[in-house]
Amino acid sequence: MKLLKNKWISYNHRAINYNATYTPNPDLPTPTFDEVKSFQINNSFWNIGLLDHPNEPWAIDVETQKGITAYLTMTNCDDELRRISREARQALNWAVNMAAKVENILEALLMDVQETDVLTETQQNLQDICTAENLPKSVMESVISNTAKKFCRLWITWNSSCNKVLLWSQRWIDEPAEDIELREKWDNVMVKNRTLWEKLRGEAVIVENENEEEEEDQEQEQSIFWLEIDDYLDL
């Protein structure tokens, strides 16, 4: 790596001077060192036509070329693992935020509201949807409850692996200490999720042997109104 960087420094200095002196069209490329490290072996930058370097090992030595390819493969794999680790945490944060929104909507929908009560913003939005779509409250309750069940089922499925993924991928993230707070938030979601599932289904947390036809009917019912709900409640 040190040799490659020294060669890059030398090349970059000469290329900049050459471009300034002779103004070729096009200019000789002057990539950054990080860009050079990411170039594949067949990148045009390594083309011997750009500069005369027949004695450089990276241009003629097969083993050196294999080493460069192996290094690039290792770097690309590391980048991919970092991306997976980052996206896993983004997904869990999305789930935490979505769970809070679903909880807020259900509380607003199922709360016993008197005529003299001042509605919250969420309650007012739900009422506006029912009025605009001419929906009985019972239909709105059915749509929201079925959507909440869908999310509950998703969280239950994720929970079997999410902690393992967080632990496994800590080496590829910059701030592993932030996982402590994320796991606490997720554990809180799961505690509330189990209670919500039992309240909506009237049974313990079981996700196997669901009736597929019932699930399809529920999803069709949800799709009729959910876009309208999304506009009002910013889900």
- Do 91 and 122 contact (CB within 8 A), yes or no? no
Confidence of residue 58 (pLDDT cuts 50, 70, 90): low
User: Mean pLDDT of all residues in the chain?
Assistant: 78
Which range among 73-82, 89-98, 225-234 shows the weakest confidence by mean pLDDT?
Answer: 225-234
Distance between CA 222 and CA 232 in Å, rounded? 15
pLDDT of residue 85: 94
Ranges of each domain in the chain: 1-49, 82-205
Distance between CA 106 and CA 128 in Å, rounded? 16
Distance between CA 212 and CA 218 in Å, rounded? 10
- % of the chain residues with pLDDT over 90: 16
Which residue type occupies 132?
Answer: A
pLDDT at 226 over 70: no
Distance between CA 19 and CA 124 in Å, rounded? 66
Distance between CA 163 and CA 155 in Å, rounded? 12
Distance between CA 206 and CA 212 in Å, rounded? 15
Tokens of 231: 């506009």
Nearest alpha carbon to residue 88 among 151, 1, 179: 179
pLDDT by residue (tens digit) across 209-224?
A: 444 455 555 455 444 4
pLDDT of residue 39: 79
Tokens of 159: 């929970």
Nearest alpha carbon to residue 145 among 221, 216, 91, 89: 221
Distance between CA 181 and CA 178 in Å, rounded? 6
Name every residue whose Cβ is closer than 8 Å to that of residue 192 and which is 6 or more positions away in sequence: 99, 103
Pick 192 or 46 by higher pLDDT. Answer: 192
Distance between CA 162 and CA 167 in Å, rounded? 9
Confidence of residue 92 (pLDDT cuts 50, 70, 90): very high
Pick 113 or 146 by higher pLDDT. Answer: 146
- % of the chain residues with pLDDT over 70: 76
